[in-house]
Structure formats: structure tokens, C-alpha cells
Amino acid sequence: MYNPLLSENPVEAEKLQAENKMLREEIAALKRTDKELRDLFEDISEVLYTIDMIAFKPIYMSSVCEKVYGYEASEFIADPYLWRNVIHPDDQHIPEKQLKDLYAGLQIFNRYRIIHKDGSIRWVENKIIPKVDQNGVLYRIDGVTSDITQAKKTEAELLETGLRYQILFEQNLAGIYRSNHEGRVLDCNLAFANMLGYDSTASFKEIKAAEHYFHLTGRQKFLADIHAHQNMDNYDVMLKHKNGSIVHVIENVFISTDPNTGEKYYDGIVIDVTKKRIAEQVLEQSRKRLEDAELLGDMGHWHWDLTTNRFHSSTGNLRLLGLDPGSSNESIEKMFEKVFPEDLPMINQAITTIMETGQIENLQFRFIRPDGSIRHLVTTSKLTKNEKGEPISMFGINFDITRIKLTEDKLHQSETSLEAKNAELQLKNKELEQFAYITSHDLQEPIRTVASFAELLQEQLGTDNDPATKKYFDFIFSSIDRMKKLISDLLDYSRIGRKTSVQEVDCNTILNEVIADLGAAITESGTQIQASALPLINGHPTEIKQLFQNLIMNAIKFRKKDIAPVIQISADKKADAWVFSVKDNGIGIEPQHRDRVFVIFQRLHTRTEYEGTGIGLAHCKKIVELHGGNIWLESEFGTGTIFLFTLKNQYP
């Protein structure tokens, strides 16, 4: 074998030895460089690798691969499929698609996921340089792989955050805006535009910020406030809807400053509270109306929280109780202290009742106001229970009935005094009747004396020669007769109902008796009496008879000159009384005299026309009233009269 070192040519050998040495040094240098390079590769975070594309297996992997893949370089070298298998199954298509570029000798660049030995998924970035021989055959690739998991994650996070903010901005129910000092709305979301009635943010932004305020000075006030506070929470503003109506909003707003230009922006988040404000206004109106109603109705309402034993009063209730607004939330014990002591047991009883029945109505009690005055109240109350059925509160309304109470008391007093007066009057009436009875009785005595001595005088004087004397005696005797009649009528009148007792009276029998008694007058005048069936009633028989007699006599007496009297008597049954009617065909009574005829001693005719004392119908009236009835008349002057009277079914 040829060995240059063993050459016989010393010069040649020396030369060879020198070359050999140089070569050795170069190799050593190369080895050193290789080592340094390798060390360098191992230091950098990217994985450097070389794959033999003929054998299709890695021939070099820098040891960083363990960091990225979890596998050591030796494992890659030992398992020719490992480098492909670490690629995430879903991403294997990425490098495969680029193979034809590689075969064409083009550098490729890709990103895909790999599955770390520990099972975690990581993102890597690859740069691959193909090596092609003079025949165009790809025989090797050199690649650099870097772990971009962190970057990828940050990127995703960034993307997500941005997206989230975008969504928050666009989809927010709250309005979001940025405006500047010149009063331009620089940016806003659709919610804010919609809030004020605009279809798009663009059309909204065209309008100057100041014009979105309901009040002309709204923007000025806003600027003053925001510069005074720098940032404001729950700032109340009235904005203007596109249609001109008020939009109540609250906003959180702060000033931000551009670091480069120093320009100030106002960034705000706005919530529409119009519905809430309107609801609040409606609520306030209702509350006011309730207060007014309570004032008008002299009433108030209250609420007793049984869990805390606090007693809450409405303004109206405080007014009823004479308490100041400080007592609108008072302890129940304090309230009970003001109840009229005598009424406390009743109130306690009422509370027991409410607890049992759930309700109590129109409970009357007295309450002592702080000024010492006593008010009469009436309360209606209801119990409220929780879902477990335990009582939790009582709700009630109070009415002030003090005025009604006072009126009632007065009424009661006047009723009492009226009763007393009535009794007094009855007594006086009795006395008067007694007086009339006694006086009329005593008057008979002197008139009898006058009559007796006038007769004696007439006998002595004689009246035959002097017509004047005769006339005087006629006047004396007719006056005496009249006086006697007046006295006896008055006596009868005062006697009505004095002695007789009430019993069952058959009016038919009574009428027949009257007709029999008046036989002469009836026959003489040719009177015809037509009577229908009359009832049985309870009454004074003598007086009832007198009543019929007077009425029939009246009808006969006031007959028309040439017409025989026809008297019709009947009775109709009404609810609680019989209505009797006595109808004649006599001269009738003029309308203006219809009440007067029932007054004692009132007459419509001179005695020369019709005899009488004017007591007959007064008599009838007294009899009817004794039986609790009424008497009246209907008449057509010149045609006849109907006297009507009622007698109670059950008297007394």
C-alpha cells in the first residue's frame, strides 16, 4: 500500500509531513469551528436541522429540539418518522402542500402546530432551505424551527381583547361616545345614536354635541361640571331626542388627553333612564294624588310592620293624628300610648280578630292628639302574610269622623229634647182639653141664668105692642141658643176620645145606625145614600159614628136647592190603611177654602144662609187624627164634594 510518509524521498517525505501537519491543524481547526458552530447552534433558541431527502430521515437536529418538541435529537435521528409525527394531525397538510415548492428548489415558510412530548400543543414557525444537485434532484433540506407559542398566544389574546372591546363598543346597550372641546362627537356607538333617535352613528355625529342637549345651556353646564370634577359618575343630563322629546340619561364621563397633541377628549358612557324618570314622575303624581285624596276625604293610611313593630303613617294619617312628619315611622308602643286609654282593650281585641280573620272593618276608637284634643277615628285594616303564611304586616286606612260624631251627639241631644218637648206638648194639649171641657161646662150656668131671666122679662113686658121690643127679644133668644150650641159643641169636641176605648168596629153597622138616627132629615130632603161594603176596623165606636154622622149631615145641609142629595160612601184598602170616601152632589167648596173648613169655628156661610157653629168638620178632623189618619177633600165648585179620610188597619 502506498504510504507517503514512508517515502524514500526525504524531500518528498518532509513535504508530505509538512502537508500532513498542516492538514491535521486544519482538521483540528475545522473540528474546532464545527464544535464552536454546534455550540453556537445549541445556544440559540431555534432548532436547526438537516434532513436527507433521499433517505427521508433527519441527519442533524440541534439539541434545542428537546426544548421545543420534548424529544432529544437522538430520538429524532433514531426514529425517521418522528419529525413528521410531531406535527399536529390537523396541520400536517400545511408542510405537505408546500413540498412541490421544495422540490422546485424554493425556500418555504410555514407555521403549524406540533404536539409536544408532554402532550401540549405548541405553535412553531419554519423556514426551510432546499438543496438541489446539478440534476435538479432535492437531496437535502436545512431548516430552522422556532417556538412561537407565546407569540401566538399573545397575538390571540390581543386579537380577542380587541374584538371584545369592539363588541363591547358596538353591542353595548349603553351609549358610548367621545367628544372634543369644539363640541364635535368624534366617535360613538349605535346604541347612543339610537338612544336619541338616529339610525346611524354617522348621522348622529353630524350634529354638534350642544344640539343634543334638551336645554340650550346643557353643553355649557356639562363642560363647566366636567372641568370642575375631571370625571363624573351618575351625572344627570337631559338630552334631546331627534323628535324633540326629552331623553333622561345618566352618564359616567372622564377627560382624557392625547399625549402627543395635548388635545382633550370627553369619553362617556350613557344610560337611558327616561322610562325610569317617567315612572318616577308617575309614581310621584300618584303619591301626590293619594295625598290630596286623603286630605279631601279626611283620611290617611298606615302600615304596621309586624317584624320590626314599626308603624308607618302617610302624610294624611299624620294630619289626622296631629303628628309631625318625624312620626311617620314610629314604634307601635309609642302609637298605642296616644290611643284613648278606655279604647285600648277594644283595639287589642280587634288585633286578635285581625290575626284570626285577616281583616277588620270600621273599628271606631279615639285618639289623643299631642295638643290634647280627642279625635274620633274609624279604621279598616287588613293583614298581610308571607309565603309561609306567617303574618308580617297590617295595612289600614283611617277616617276622621269627629265632625260626624259631634253632629250625631247634637242630633241625639236634639232628639232627646224633641222627645221632652213632645211630651210637654202632649201634657199641655191634655190641659187645654181639660180647660175647654171645664170652661164650656161652667159657661152653661150663666147662659142658663140669662135665658131664664130674659124669659121672665119678656113675660112681664109683653111684645105685642112694640115691634122693636120683639126684635130685641128675638136677638137675645137666638144669641142664647147659639151660645148654648157653641158650648155643647165645644164640650163634645173636647170630649173626643176621652172616655171611650178602642174596639173592633163594623163600619157597615155604624153607617146603618147613623142612617136610622138621621131618618127625618134624610126623608125630608129626599136624600139617597149609596154605600158599598165597608170594612171592620179598630177604633172608638162613638167617635166613628160621629164622623159618619157629621159628614152625611154636611152633605145634606150643603145640598143644591132643587136637587135631591145623593151620597156615595165607599172604602179602598191601601198598604196599611183604609181610604174612605164620602161623595155628594152638593154646592161644592171653592179651592181657597179647602183647608179652612177643617179649622174650628170657621164657616163659609152666614148663619142666615146655613145654620151652624163651624165645628162639624173640625170634629171630623180630630176624630180621624185620633185614629192616626188624615182627612182632606176634593171638590168641584158647584158640582159636589168628596171627603176622603184614612183609618189605620191596626189602631193603635
Contact positions vs other proteins (CB under 8 A): 471, 475, 478-479, 593, 602-608, 614
Q: 571 with 534: CB under 8 angstroms?
A: yes
How many other C-beta atoms can be found within 10 angstroms of the C-beta atom of residue 564? 12
C-alpha span between 250 and 496 (Å, rounded): 94
Pairing of strands 566-573, 528-531: parallel
Q: What is the largest CA-CA distance in the chain?
A: 239
- Residue placing its CB nearer to other proteins in the complex, 478 or 528: 478
Nearer to other proteins, 319 or 482 (CB): 482
Give least dist CB 637 to other proteins, A: 12
The Cα–Cα gap between 187 and 268 comes to: 11
- Is 35 or 605 the residue whose CB approaches other proteins more closely? 605
Rounded distance between C-alpha atoms, residue 648 and residue 652, angstroms: 8
**C-beta closer to other proteins: residue 297 or 591:** 591
**CB closer to other proteins, 542 vs 602:** 602
Smallest distance from other proteins to CB 318, Å: 60
State the nearest-atom distance from the C-beta of 474 to other proteins, in Å. 9
Cα-Cα end-to-end distance for the chain: 176
Dist CA 393 CA 311 (whole Å): 10
Q: What is the C-alpha separation between 266 and 426, in angstroms, rounded? A: 97
Specify the residue, 565 or 614, whose C-beta has the smaller distance to other proteins. 614
Q: Between 74 and 478, whose beta carbon lies closer to other proteins? A: 478
Cα–Cα distance list, 10 to 5, 21, 22, 24 (Å): 9, 16, 18, 20
CB 505 within 8 A of CB 539: yes
Instruction: Dump strand ranges (E) for 33-120.
Output: 47-52, 57-61, 108-115
Residue 442 Cβ, how far from other proteins at the closest point, in Å?
A: 18
Q: Which is nearer to other proteins, 431 or 474 (CB)?
A: 474
Nearest partner of 307 among 247, 235, 234, 386, judged by Cα: 386
Return the sign of the alpha-carbon dihedral for residues 80, 83, 84, 89: positive
Q: Which is nearer to other proteins, 43 or 590 (CB)?
A: 590
Distances from the Cα of 627 to the Cα of 98, 188, 553, 622, angstroms: 133, 98, 21, 9
Nearer to other proteins, 221 or 471 (CB): 471
Least distance from C-beta 469 to other proteins, angstroms?
13
- β strands within 62-160, DSSP E: 108-115, 121-132, 138-147
Contact 547, 624 (CB under 8 A): yes
Going across the sheet that includes 108-115, the strands are 57-61, 47-52, 138-147, 121-132, 108-115
Task: Select 621 or 627, whichever has its Cβ closest to other proteins.
Answer: 621
Eight-class DSSP state of 465: S
- The secondary element (H helix, E strand) that includes residue 623 is helix 616-626
